[in-house]
Amino acid sequence: MKLVNLELARDLLLRGDTVAIPTETVYGLGGWIRSEKGLLRIFSTKERPFFDPLIVHVATVESAKKLASDWTPVHEVLAAACWPGPLTLIAKKDSSVDPLITSGLDSVGLRCPRHELTLKLLSQIEGGVAAPSANKFGKTSPTSAEHVYQEFDDKVAILDGGPAEVGIESTVAGVKKEGSKFVVEIFRPGFFTASMLSGVLEAAGLKTQVRYAQSPVAPGQLQHHYMPRIPLVLVPPDFNWALQRKLIEDKLRHVFKNPVVWVLPASPQLASRELYEKLRQFDQQGFDLILTSKLPEHSSEDWLGIWNRLEKAKTLAL
Ligand code: TXA
Ligand code: MG
């Protein structure tokens, strides 16, 4: 494993190289936003299409504001309450932001991660660090240095910051005006739910509607994402392998000898922390099929992020 310390990580980034950086959500594949070489390297290393925009990571709200041209009171309140933390705020971009980061859009995703080591690194890098999750495009996101190594071998230097606490990617939220009112739209569910964000805004005296929405640009919100190497099948809670095995085998045109039934932990925080780790483990432990089901207790709002990922990681739903 090519582990680097903070100083070397900074030097590599400033030289236009990529470095895997820890965050509270998942590890990111970082590149300096002022280096075209670094940005291009993110896309080539990940085999990521250019139409999928990157999130810029910053150490402070002040740095975020410099990259935005329409920082509204809603941005201000959400950033003050949720940063550092797993929330990405979309804002109109400042002209200094490279179109490679935004896929040519006029908006940019900004996030201040809650990770001490990475915050220290970011404070030493002018502008910020663009970082998508440090995995090959469409595959399971890494929540430890070991996962990044499994993904890229020694091709990527890693700043090891321990296992990710949250375990799934940040909530992505945009702000728009409808008439004279602001509306917050959540394009990717995560730790911060709509109720949590509207509670924060209300407490600050900004009565603002917060809703779940399709991303207007739909980048990265592709149908298949986060996929493990072996098939993942979502089954009903009353599923019976002995009776229904043939159905799955017919649909997937494969005989499965060694399936694993995966029961998600009862707490959404625990479930999101171990989600990607489990998917990788099942890949490696010789199972050839993962079966999991949505139980009644998995339907509250704080499970949305987890089901969003499982829906995209699935091969089939019965
Ligand atoms: O937790 C995270 O957000 C992690 C860590 C590394 O910070 N990063 C991450 O990046 O998940 P990535 O590239 O895997 O996902 C970025 C998401 C994509 O769904 C992308 O479409 C969306 O953010 N996004 C970025 N810029 C956007 C924009 N201007 N408008 C709409 N969506 C945007
Ligand atoms: Mg990703």
CA nearest to 252, candidates 240, 262, 242, 244: 244
How far are the Cα atoms of 41, 136, 251, 290 from residue 139, in angstroms, in the given order? 18, 6, 22, 16
- Whether residues 52 and 138 share a domain: the answer is yes
In terms of DSSP H, where are the helices of 256-303? 268-284
List pocket residues of ligand 1, CB cut-off 6 Å: 23, 25-26, 28, 52-55, 86, 88, 90, 102, 105, 107-109, 111, 113, 131-133, 169-170, 172, 187-188, 215, 217, 219-221
Task: Please report whether residue 224 resides in a domain.
Answer: no
* Co-location of 287 and 165 in the same domain: no
Cis peptide before 49 (omega within 30 of 0): no
Q: In this structure, are 300 and 169 located in the same domain?
A: no
Q: How far is the CA of 307 from the centre of ligand 1 (A)?
A: 18
Best substitution site from 55, 165, 221 to test ligand 1's pocket, by max atoms within 8 Å of Cβ? 55
One domain for residues 140 and 259:
no
Closest CA relative to residue 239, chosen from 283, 288, 294: 294
Both tokens of residue 203?
Answer: 């407490």
Alpha-carbon dihedral of residues 317, 220, 157, 149, nearest 10 degrees?
A: 10
Quick one: which atom of ligand 1 is closest to the CA of 172?
Answer: 23
Q: Are residues 260 and 152 in the same domain?
A: no
- Same-domain status, 252 and 304: yes
Same domain, 79 and 185: yes
- Verify that 32 and 72 share a domain, yes or no: yes
300 in a structural domain: yes
Asked if residue 244 belongs to a domain, the reply is yes
- Is 226 domain-assigned? no
Q: What is the pLDDT of residues 10-32, one digit of tens each?
A: 999 999 999 999 999 999 999 99
Note whether residue 149 is domain-resident: yes
Per the structure, the count of domains in the chain is 2
Q: Are residues 241 and 306 in the same domain?
A: yes
Q: Is residue 1 part of a domain?
A: no
Quote the domain boundaries for residue 296.
232-317
Residue 241 within any structural domain of the chain: yes
Q: Are residues 208 and 297 in the same domain?
A: no
Q: Are 110 and 68 in contact (CB under 8 A)?
A: yes
Taking the centre of ligand 1 as the mean of its atom positions, its distance from the CA of residue 250, in whole angstroms, is 36
Task: State whether 139 and 22 are in the same domain.
Answer: yes
Domain-ending residue, one of 156, 179, 212 = 212
Name residue, tokens 């400033």.
14
Q: Which of 165, 181, 212 is the last residue of a domain?
A: 212
Q: Which residues, at least 6 apart from 40, have a Cβ–Cβ distance to it below 8 Å?
A: 100
**pLDDT tens track, the chain, 318 positions:** 999 999 999 999 999 999 999 999 999 999 999 999 999 999 999 998 888 899 999 999 999 999 999 999 999 999 999 999 999 999 999 999 999 999 999 999 999 999 999 999 999 999 999 999 999 998 999 999 999 999 999 999 999 999 999 999 999 999 999 999 999 999 999 999 999 999 999 999 998 999 999 877 654 456 778 899 999 999 999 999 999 999 999 999 999 999 999 999 999 999 999 999 999 999 999 999 999 999 988 999 999 999 999 999 999 999
Q: At 130, which CATH number?
A: 3.90.870.10
Task: Quote the ligand 1 centre to 313 CA distance (angstroms).
Answer: 17
Q: What is the DSSP letter of 126?
A: S
In a domain, 251, yes or no: yes
| Domain closes at, from 212, 241, 270 | 212
**190 and 286: one domain?**
no
